[in-house]
Structure 1
Amino acid sequence: MPGFNGDFHFKKALDMLVRGVFPSIGKLPVRDITPAPVLDILTKTVKRGAPTVAAEAKRTLSGIFELAVATLRADNDPVWPVRKALPANKTQHKTALTTAQIGKLLNDFDNHRYGYQVNFCMQLMWWKLARPSAAAEAEWDEFDLEKAVWRIPAQRMKARKEHVVPLPRQAVEMLKGLHAITGNRKHLFPGRDDRNAPLSAASLRQALKVLGWSGAYSPHATRTSGSTRLNEMGYRPDAIEAQLAHAEPNSVRRTYNHATYLDERRVMMQAWADKLELWKQEVAGEAC
């Protein structure tokens, strides 16, 4: 959009929407965009079977226009009049994978023909029970391999609070090997088309589709699966919630959790990484 520059929080979402949105309205001055083309974009997205993408596009576009109005680049938000024209996007709760399914999934990734980056990213996500974007967009300066910790900065966390993650032995070994390949880059997993940008989380979904996991597993189900299995392994819910970076409403308790559970989480996540290896080996043994 000509004349619409500036550093704002919507850049990441804009990058995701360039293909779907900019071809139709990208060349228009932001002040000239009306509700009709916005509704057309969102409706077409829903009709092609992507209601979640449409909902995200609606929120993102509205945020852009709100900023445009606040900075006197536009007179109104054209999303507002059509905001209720789309069907409600119902949240689908992710089903936890069984231990056998987890082993098969990770074993499939070990043996696929995709690049090492997709495999390592999937492994890191499971070792840490991180959100797909947190793993895919990880940066080298967030890691201290000597202390075996990963400090995800606040700006990359959903709750906008720094999250300290203990690294199991397997993750440290993998990262040391990876550093010899991409350590001169900003990101652990540089993008395929732009090596200065991170790997897209969409690459994980594409790999899942090729491997036959599409529909049976979503990367977002990793955390649900981890939480379920760690509870079965007998670990305290408070430590599991702290590992998943779920917000604690009580500020005193939140501070206590952060200070107390790191050592407990370190033991827990090493045991988790060991279980992942065991489940992979069991699947591999059955295949022989």
Structure 2
Amino acid sequence: MARLAKPLSETEIKNAKAKDKEYNLADGAGLQLRVKPHGSKLWLLNYVNPITKKRQNLSIGAYPDISLADARKLSQEARTLVALDIDPKQHKAEQLAAKAALTEHTFEKVAIQWFETKKESITKNHADSTWRSFKLHLLPALGKTPISQMTAPMVIKILRPVEAKGSLETVKRLSQRINEVMIYAVNTGLIHANPISGIKSVFKKPRKEHLAALKPNELSELMQAIANASIKKVTRFLIEWQLHTMTRPNEAAAARWDEINFDDRLWLIPAEKMKMRRDHVIPLTDQTIALLEAIKPLTGHREYIFPADRNPKTHCNVQTANAALNRMGLKGRTTAHGLRSLASTTLNEQGFDADLIETALAHIDKNQIRSAYNRTDYLQRRRVMMSWWSEYIMDASSGNFSLANNLKHLKVVGE
């Protein structure tokens, strides 16, 4: 029969002196006081794990923070868990994790972790816009909420005022982004399920409206408007550059001289500047080369082909072309992004291969299997198509409307 330990007394505990090596004082039923060489005293419960059947120690706390009476009470609670086939050590860890989740795993902190991963797969402008929407609409009300306590009614209540303003696209984007954060929390083990997965169904759906874009037969009108507009020379070059290269406004505005390969007649846009995060190569035509040669005396000493007025060390604003088109009287009829639609419509009507057009627009094939096997960028065939497109622009310019067609007739206002 095992010898029962004599229960400890407060006096015995207080008088226990440190030794060269740590030692234990037994109180009984597995409760022990461990005295460390530096003098600290720690309560431990030695028990048999109900699952593994192996002996292990559970830390109950330090003396005198945990008194003898408290230690006995806590050890009894732990032994009760063992009797119920619950490992008290694991139970304690789960409780601590649950408490930590209330302060460490708030919506804002999880959103920041998600965003650090997300921003690697999107452009800087898209990333900046995404985080601005969080700071404006979500973080003020949800930032300190534990991710485990997020509910659909809570999120819906916050998005209703945005919906009431008629900003349905904003509601749609916010619903999508907050769901991405919640899915991230599920995948990282912070929560077991996403409770807000269906919130988008309770909001009005935004009407699908195509971006304003001119029709192919209106290209001549566009070129004449550009030629006669009272805009700065760099802005005029920018609009024609974007039109010829079929690029997005931000890609065109941020074009750099070191991305241009004059020998091979290519514009090499790195992945980090592209919406789809893939390198994009654009064949340069005689007309786009002419545009570059014409603007080089103005900006060739700069980093960017189209530098900003106020700070030439950076590129012009991505809205520069849009603002200029509006001043030309084309507001509501086209946007800078609509120039891509104009090019796409024209090339499709002329019977060019749809794959060539989609590649020129830097779109990703929606058929993922096909996209995986079809990695060619059709460079030589795209050269032919891009040359045709540049010639088509020149024909629509009626001789003097295009910079690339007849630079000597350039009318510049407000340099």
* Distance change in 2, residues 1:31/1:193 (3 Å): farther
* Residue number in structure 2 paired with 1:264: 381
Distance 1:130 1:40 in 2: 39
Q: Given residue 125 of structure 1, which amino acid in structure 2 is its aligned partner?
A: Q
State the aligned residue count: 281
Aligned residues of 1:190 and 1:196 also touching (Cα < 8 A): yes
Whether 2:338 is the aligned partner of 1:221: answer yes
| Selected match of 1:206 from 319, 323, 328 | 323
> 1:133, CA displacement in angstroms?
1.6
Distance 2:128 2:280 in 1: 25
Q: Given residue 162 of structure 1, which amino acid in structure 2 is its aligned partner?
A: D
Whether 2:374 is the aligned partner of 1:254: answer yes
> 1:147, CA displacement in angstroms?
1.7
* Distance change in 2, residues 1:142/1:53 (3 Å): farther
More strand by share: 2
Q: How does 1:85-100 map to 2 (within 5 A)?
A: 87-94=204-211, 97-100=214-217
Distance 1:31 1:219 in 2: 40
> 1:172, CA displacement in angstroms?
0.7
* Distance change in 2, residues 1:185/1:241 (3 Å): same
Distance 2:384 2:202 in 1: 50
In terms of Rg, which structure is larger?
2
Q: Given residue 237 of structure 1, which amino acid in structure 2 is its aligned partner?
A: A
Whether 2:117 is the aligned partner of 1:12: answer no
Distance 1:149 1:17 in 2: 32
| Selected match of 1:163 from 274, 277, 280 | 280
* Distance change in 2, residues 1:215/1:242 (3 Å): same
| Selected match of 2:291 from 174, 187, 190 | 174
TM-score, normalised to structure 2, is 0.53
| Selected match of 2:350 from 233, 254, 258 | 233
> 1:60, CA displacement in angstroms?
6.7
Percent sequence identity over matched residues? 25
| Selected match of 2:241 from 124, 129, 146 | 124
> CA deviation digits over 1:62-109, x for unaligned, max 9?
8799999x9xxxxxxxx9998777643333234653333112112211
Distance 2:381 2:317 in 1: 32
Distance 1:121 1:246 in 2: 22
* Residue number in structure 2 paired with 1:139: 256
Distance 2:337 2:347 in 1: 17
Report the RMSD for the aligned CA atoms in angstroms.
4.2
Distance 1:151 1:174 in 2: 17
Distance 1:226 1:274 in 2: 12
Distance 1:40 1:109 in 2: 47
Aligned residues of 1:152 and 1:163 also touching (Cα < 8 A): yes
Q: Given residue 125 of structure 2, which amino acid in structure 1 is its aligned partner?
A: K
More helix by share: 1
> 1:236, CA displacement in angstroms?
2.3
* Residue number in structure 1 paired with 2:219: 102
Aligned residues of 1:231 and 1:237 also touching (Cα < 8 A): yes
Aligned residues of 2:299 and 2:306 also touching (Cα < 8 A): yes
